[in-house]
Chains A and B, each alone.
Chain A
Amino acid sequence: MLGLFKKYKNLKIVLFFSLLLVFAGLFLNNEYYFATASIFVINSLLITSLMMVIGYAGQISLAHGAIYGIGAYTSAILTTKLGAPFLLALLASALAGFLVSLIVGAPSLKLRGHYLAMATLGVGEIIVILFQELDFLTGGVNGFVGIKPAEIFGYSFVNLTEYYALVSVIAVSILAFLAIFVDSKIGRALRAIKSSEIAASSLGLNPSFYKLMVFGLSGAVAGSCGSLYAHLDRFISPSTFSVSFSVMMVAMVIVGGESSFAGSLAAALIFSLLNEYVRQFQELSQFLFGLGLFLVAIYMKGGIGNIGKIFPAKLERVKRSEAS
């Protein structure tokens, strides 16, 4: 057991996270707070899944919010319009997220850096426009109303406390899987590719395959998040999945440290607390994360999650500027 934690060091963080969720569950006493807490859990998972793309595949995606939306709409349509069971819809959302994410990731085989960012931004925007315009399916700009509550083997999770428990169990399981994944053989291959694509491909690793795999995996997780979200508020609308939210998530990942589980989870927590604290102007958190991202980009190239590395990086900068 302990060996497991040693081998997969991110499991410790996931364990800590699940304890936090348990404590929150014991401590909170109001349905409203359970809704907020559920959103926090969903966001944590969502941001961690984007962190995989940025931190482990070394790619950027500004369509993550859209993929989250794909999951949400898939689940809403399947359960409410077609009467599919929740668990099936959850799986279908994951599958839809997986497939669409492959499409989003496809340009990464050819494009790099900011070109890729623009391409994914374009795909994300297209998907959101489709949410708005295909109103016979999605309800259009007014949103999808009256989504069925999640139901497992006849038990309906209408009570938000119970739904919080369900969301937490699912999210923690997925997080644990991701934590094991990044320190598995595949995870190590990814790191090798990220540090040098040429060297890795000379070792027989196929960078395209691994990159797409991470996009797919991350999309599947984001799709599941969408499904969990759809059955929480039981109302979804295109604006939730806008490109701004995607940009915001990238900011959260980078501020948290681009390949840090703890950083992503912490960013999600700060985001939730901020939104809770200033309810009149929720966009404040958008501003603050924007500011955080700005400062990180300019002063510490590596994110707050890499706080230990900041100091030497600074020294090097001083040296360089002295020399030039």
Chain B
Amino acid sequence: MIETLIQLLISGAVLGSIYGLIGVGFSVVHTATGAINFAQGEFAVLGAFLAISLTGADLPHFFAVIISPIVLTLFVVLLFRIFLTRVADDALYLVVATIALSLMLKTLLLYFWGREPIGLSSPFQGKTLNIAGLMLGYDQLLIIAGALIAYIFLLFFFSKHPAGKAMKAVVEEKEIAMASGLNPALYQGVAFAFGSLLGAFAGCLVAPVSMLSYNSGGLLGLKGFASAIFAGLDRPERAVFGGIILGVIESLVVLFVPSGFKDVVALIVLLIVLTLKPEGFLSGGRKRLA
């Protein structure tokens, strides 16, 4: 019994790490632009599908998993430079543009990769680590490691790295930041690109563990957003923990309700946070950035 429980906790934490990674993307974009990127879930699926196609073309797994997010990020950078920067200051229009983007991406995913769910076959398929009787797949370990690395990186980025400080400055007082020589559009673009990089990376990590289809992005995005808002949109790195908490709740709930309703749980958490405490539960008294 205890063992099943721990096993459930672990699988919850694994899934939650994915939500967290996607959620971090939401928070980073929100921090810099005040907008929510509704295409974040589609970026995750697109990242996974690109990697699947790359391995299908006989490229090594690791290569595919790294190249795919980079390609996607370059695409997003272009997209931002050409189009989105025009509305970067107007959160509402930026949101509408990302909603439009999600519609288009979903169609493209369907057109190029078909209707059936697909997975990424990783070289670690079936390989597990046995720690005191607990089974942990290498692929699952990678997911948790990915989330932790993202957390540490962001913590460092926002408190120590010049670009992180500059991004915070742009969000806090845009005009003073401009007067200090910062170009807000640059940081908004960087945030957008970084958010999609994380989303695509999360997609690549989850694809070996669970199959994705062209319309998986909606739910993935919503859960990512739930993680982010649970943690507080102004604290990007904490979305990782928001995600892990959400994943654990989700997998424990399966003990009580039919597994088909599992997804409802995350959504209800989202609604509760949105209506009760939209500034988040892990945001810890700090002044809100946006």
Interface residues of A (CB under 8 A from B): 107, 110-111, 113-115, 117-119, 121-123, 125-126, 129-130, 132-133, 242-244, 247-248, 250-251, 254, 281, 283-284, 286-287, 289-294, 296-299, 301
Q: Determine whether the beta carbon of B93 is less than 8 Å from that of A297.
A: yes
19 contacts between A and B (CB under 8 A): A107-B271, A113-B91, A113-B95, A114-B35, A114-B36, A115-B278, A118-B229, A122-B271, A125-B218, A125-B263, A126-B267, A133-B258, A242-B215, A243-B218, A248-B103, A291-B104, A293-B103, A298-B83, A298-B86
B253 close to chain A: CB less than 8 A: no
B238 close to chain A: CB less than 8 A: no
- A122: contacting residue among B83, B110, B111, B270, CB under 8 A: B270
Q: Determine whether the beta carbon of B95 is less than 8 Å from that of A129.
A: no
Tell me the nearest residue of chain A to B115, going by C-beta.
Answer: A283
Q: Determine whether the beta carbon of A287 is less than 8 Å from that of B107.
A: yes
Tell me the nearest residue of chain A to B110, going by C-beta.
Answer: A283
With A126-B268, A129-B263, A298-B83 already in contact, the answer to whether A110 and B97 are too (CB < 8 A) is: no
| Chain A residues with CB below 8 A from B90, complex form | 301
Tell me the nearest residue of chain A to B82, going by C-beta.
Answer: A298
- A286: contacting residue among B83, B106, B270, CB under 8 A: B106
Q: Determine whether the beta carbon of B92 is less than 8 Å from that of A114.
A: yes
In B207-238, which residues have CB < 8 Å from any A CB?
A: 215, 218-219, 222, 225-226, 229
In B79-132, which residues have CB < 8 Å from any A CB?
A: 83-84, 86-87, 90-97, 99-104, 106-108, 110-111
With A113-B92, A297-B97, A298-B87 already in contact, the answer to whether A251 and B215 are too (CB < 8 A) is: no
With A111-B278, A114-B92, A287-B107 already in contact, the answer to whether A250 and B99 are too (CB < 8 A) is: yes
- A118: contacting residue among B36, B97, B219, CB under 8 A: B36
Q: Determine whether the beta carbon of B275 is less than 8 Å from that of A244.
A: no
B264 close to chain A: CB less than 8 A: yes
B153 close to chain A: CB less than 8 A: no
Interface centre among B99, B215, B219, B225 (most CB of A within 10 A): B99
| Chain B residues with CB below 8 A from A297, complex form | 87, 93-94, 96-97, 100
Q: Determine whether the beta carbon of B261 is less than 8 Å from that of A286.
A: no
Q: Determine whether the beta carbon of B36 is less than 8 Å from that of A244.
A: no
B134 close to chain A: CB less than 8 A: no
- B111: contacting residue among A283, A289, A293, CB under 8 A: A283
Besides the contacts A297-B87, A301-B90, what 20 more A-B pairs have beta carbons closer than 8 Å?
A107-B274, A113-B91, A118-B270, A119-B271, A121-B218, A122-B222, A126-B268, A129-B264, A243-B218, A248-B103, A250-B99, A281-B111, A284-B107, A286-B107, A290-B101, A291-B100, A293-B103, A296-B96, A298-B87, A299-B86
- A294: contacting residue among B91, B100, B106, CB under 8 A: B100
B133 close to chain A: CB less than 8 A: no
- B103: contacting residue among A114, A121, A126, A244, CB under 8 A: A244
| Pairs A-B, 6 closest by C-beta atoms | A290-B103, A293-B100, A294-B100, A290-B104, A287-B107, A133-B260
With A111-B278, A122-B271 already in contact, the answer to whether A298 and B36 are too (CB < 8 A) is: no
**Nearest CB of B to A251, in Å:** 6
Tell me the nearest residue of chain B to A133, going by C-beta.
Answer: B260
Docked CA distance A283–B103 (Å): 10
| Chain A residues with CB below 8 A from B215, complex form | 242, 244
**Nearest CB of A to B4, in Å:** 23
**Nearest CB of B to A88, in Å:** 30
Q: Determine whether the beta carbon of A251 is less than 8 Å from that of B99.
A: yes
**Nearest CB of A to B75, in Å:** 15
Q: Determine whether the beta carbon of B107 is less than 8 Å from that of A110.
A: no
Q: Determine whether the beta carbon of B97 is less than 8 Å from that of A287.
A: no
Q: Determine whether the beta carbon of A293 is less than 8 Å from that of B278.
A: no
Q: Determine whether the beta carbon of B93 is less than 8 Å from that of A301.
A: yes
Q: Determine whether the beta carbon of A247 is less than 8 Å from that of B103.
A: yes
| Chain A residues with CB below 8 A from B278, complex form | 111, 115
Q: Determine whether the beta carbon of A247 is less than 8 Å from that of B107.
A: no
Interface centre among B84, B104, B226 (most CB of A within 10 A): B104
